[in-house]
Chain A
Amino acid sequence: MGTAFPTIILFNRHVGGYIFGMAGLEVLLPGDRISANQIPTSQKRKIGHGLRQEPDTSDFTATIGGLLDVDYRKKTAQIATPDGRYIPKAGDLVIAQVRLSAAESFHLYINAYSPQAILPQLAFEGATKKTRPQLKSNDLVYAKVVSAQKNMEIELSCVNPATGKAEPDGLGPLTGGMVFDVSPGLAERLLKKQGVAALEELGSRLQGGFEIAVGKNGKVWVDCPEAGVKGICAVGRCLREMDENELKDKEQKRLVNRIMNELERG
C-alpha cells in the first residue's frame, strides 16, 4: 500500500478544481474499501457507478478510480469520474447524432466509436405513423436515455412518457447553433449549475443572451439569435477554457471580461 500514496497525491492535486456534493473530497482507487456508515443506509438508496457491495458484509468496494460522490438528501452514492468516457445511464439527457434511419427507429451515436442507441420514430412530441419526423444522417437530437442496460441496445426518447410532450426538458431535434465537446464532468456541472458562474455572466453581457442545451455525454449545443457567429464562438471559447483550465469563480469572471473585450474590439 505504500506505493499507492504518491498516486493519491496526484489525484488530490487534480481534484482541486472540482466541487462535489456534501461529502468531503475523498479519492478512491480500485479495490479500496468503503465502510457502510459512509453511505446512506436507507432502503430507498441508489448505489451508482463504481461501487460494488461485498457479499458477506454491508461494506462496499470501489471498482474504478475516482471521487466518492455521496448525496444524503437524494440518498445516492457513486464514484464520479469527471474526465472519463461517458457511460449512458437511464434518465440522462444526451445530445446524440443520427447515424441512419431504419424502418421504425433511428440509430444514433451517443459517443463516437461506442455502441449505438435506438430512438423510435414515434418517440417525438405529436408524432404519428403519418407525421413522424424526418431526420437525416448526422442530424443532432436532444434526447433522454430511457434504458441503458448491459448487453442490450440503449434506448432514447424525445418525449416525456407521462405527458407525451417534449417539455420540460426541451427534447427534440436541434437546428442551427453549434455543438462543442466538453468533458462529462463539466457537462454535469452545467446541468447542476455548480461552479459555472462564467456562463451566467456571459449570458447577461452578451447581446441577446444565448440558448444552451447540455448533454451529459459531454456535448453542449449553443445558439445566439442576436450575437450570431461571433457570440457562439465566444461561448465556445468560454466553455473550452473552463474545461481545460478548471477555473474558479474569480478566474471565470476574469475570463468573461477578456472574452467580452475581444468581442467588442471585433
Chain B
Amino acid sequence: MPREIDISNIERNFILEALQQGVRVDGRSLDQFRSLELEFGDEYGTVTTRLGKTRVHVQISAEVTKPLEDRQFDGIFTITTELSPIASAAYEVGRQTEQEVILSRTLEKAVRRSRAIDTESLCIISGAKCWSIRADVHVLDSDGGLIDCSCVAIVAALRHFRRPDVSVDGENVTIYTMAERVPVPLSIMHNPVCITFSFYHGGDTIVLDATRSEEQVRETSATFTVNDFELCQVSKMGGSPIDAVVLLKCINTALAKGKEINGIVAKKLAEDSTKRDVGGLIAELRAENER
C-alpha cells in the first residue's frame, strides 16, 4: 500500500531553520499565497484552479430528482471529492485515507453546511421534484494547500454554473434547453473561502499556504472558512495547542485574505462573462432599456 514518503531529515531541519529566520524555501513571505489562477471551461460550471503547482478541477452538474422526505422544500446539493494517483503516487483509488476524509468534511462544512447555495430555490414542486446539484472535485496535482484550492474551485464553479430554465404547469414540468431559453444561475448566498494556517516552533511561526514540504514539517494547522463579512468555520484537528489570541489574529488575517481571493474570483468570472459575450451582442439584445 503506497504511503507518503517522509521528508528527509536534512530538508526538515532546513525548512524549520529557514522559517525561524522568516525565510521560505520558495522565496515567499510568511503570509503570502501562491499565485491563484482560474480557468473556466466552455461548459458552464467547469473550472480548473491552479494554486502554484496544486491543480484542482471542479465540474458542476444538475439533474431533476425527488427531494428528501424530511426536506420537501429543499433541493439537494452534494460535493464529491476523490484523490487519485494522478495527483500523487501516495493516493490510491477507492481507499479513503485520513487526508481524503478531512478534505471532504472540511469542504462539506465550508460550502454546503454554511449554506453557500440557497437550496430552497432548487425546489420545483415541493415533495415531488427538485434540482440535485452535484460538485465533482478532481485533484490533478497535489503540492499542498488542497483545502484552500478546492474551496476556491468549488465556489468559482458554482458561481459559473447555469442550470436549464424550468416552467411548471400544475404537475407538468417543462425543462427548456440552453438553446430555447437563457440558463439560470444558482442562487448564491455567500462566497466561502478556506484559509489554512500552519504553525511551527510551538506556534511562534505562522505560515500561510504551505507547500507539500512545509505541510510535512508543521506541528499543527488550522483552517478558517470566511466570506466577505464573517467567519463560517474553524477547523483545528489535533496537533499542538495554540493560544487563543494567536488564533484571533489568524482570523483577522483570514478575513483580509478572503476578501482578496473573492476579488480575484469575481474578476475572473467577469473576464469569462466578457469573453462569452461575443462582439458585445448582449448589450444590443437587452430588453431592459431606459426610457
The B1-54 residues at the A interface (CB cut-off 8 A) are 2, 5-14, 17-18, 21, 23-27
Q: Which residues of B contact A136 (CB under 8 A)?
A: 9
- List A contacts of B14 (CB < 8 A): 177-178, 229, 232
Q: Chain B: which residue is nearest A229 at the CB level?
A: B18
With contact pairs A113-B2, A232-B14 given, residues A178 and B9 touching in the complex (Cβ less than 8 Å): no
Q: Quick check: B18 and A138 within 8 Å, CB to CB?
A: no
| Residues of chain A with a CB closer than 8 A to B10's CB | 139-140, 174-179, 221
Whether B23 and A229, one on each chain, are in contact in the complex, defined by CB atoms closer than 8 angstroms, is: yes
A75 near B: Cβ within 8 Å? no
CB closest chain-A residue, reference B15: A178
Asked whether any CB of chain A lies closer than 8 Å to the CB of B89, the reply is yes
List, in ascending order, chain A residues with CB within 8 A of B6's CB: 137-138
Choice from B5, B9, B21, B24 contacting A140 with Cβ under 8 Å: B9
Chain A contact residues: helix, strand, loop or mixed: mixed
> A-B contact count, CB below 8 Å?
53
A-B contact pairs, 13 of them (CB 8 A): A112-B89, A113-B5, A113-B89, A136-B9, A137-B6, A138-B6, A140-B8, A178-B10, A178-B11, A178-B14, A229-B14, A229-B18, A237-B26
B-side contacts of A175, CB under 8 Å: 10
Chain B residues touching A, majority SS: loop
Question: Closest 10 A-B residue pairs measured CB to CB?
Answer: A178-B14, A113-B89, A112-B5, A138-B9, A229-B18, A138-B8, A97-B8, A140-B8, A138-B6, A140-B10
> Distance (Å) between the CB of B110 and the closest chain A CB?
31
User: How distant is A120 from chain B, measured CB to nearest CB, in Å?
Assistant: 21
Identify 9 new A-B residue pairs, CB closer than 8 A, beyond the known A138-B12, A179-B8, A229-B23.
Answer: A109-B5, A112-B89, A139-B8, A140-B9, A176-B13, A178-B14, A179-B11, A229-B21, A230-B23
Chain A hits for B11, CB < 8 A: 178-179
Question: Which of chain A's residues have a CB closer than 8 A to the CB of B7?
Answer: 138
Q: Which residues of A contact B26 (CB under 8 A)?
A: 237, 240
Query: Interface size (A, Cβ < 8 Å)?
Result: 23
CB of A258, distance to nearest CB on chain B (Å): 11
B interface footprint on A207-251 (CB within 8 Å = 1, 0 otherwise): 000000000000001000000011011001100100000000000
The residues of A that contact B18 with a CB separation of less than 8 Å are 229, 233
User: Distance (Å) between the CB of B227 and the closest chain A CB?
Assistant: 35
A-side interface residues toward B, CB under 8 Å? 97, 109, 112-113, 136-140, 174-179, 221, 229-230, 232-233, 236-237, 240
The distance from the CB of A135 to the nearest CB of chain B, in whole angstroms, is 10
Q: Do B5 and A178 touch (CB < 8 A)?
A: no
Residues of B within 8 A of A232 (CB): 14
- The listed residue with most A CB atoms (<10 A of its CB), out of B8, B21, B24, is B8
Provide the bound-state CA to CA distance between A112 and B7, in Å: 10
Give Cα A229–Cα B13 distance, bound, in whole angstroms.
11
Nearest to B18 among chain A residues (CB) is A229
Instruction: Give Cα A190 to B17, complex, Å.
Output: 27
Separation of A220 and B13 alpha carbons in the complex (Å): 16
A140, A178, A179, A230: most-surrounded residue (chain B CB, <10 A): A178
Complex: chain B residue closest to A135, CB-CB? B9
A236 and B18 alpha carbons, distance in the complex (Å): 13
Q: How far is the CB of B99 from chain A (nearest CB, A)?
A: 16
Residues on A with beta carbons closer than 8 Å to the beta carbon of B23: 229-230, 233
A174 to B13, alpha carbons, bound, how many Å? 13
| Most interface-central of A138, A139, A179 (chain B CB within 10 A) | A138
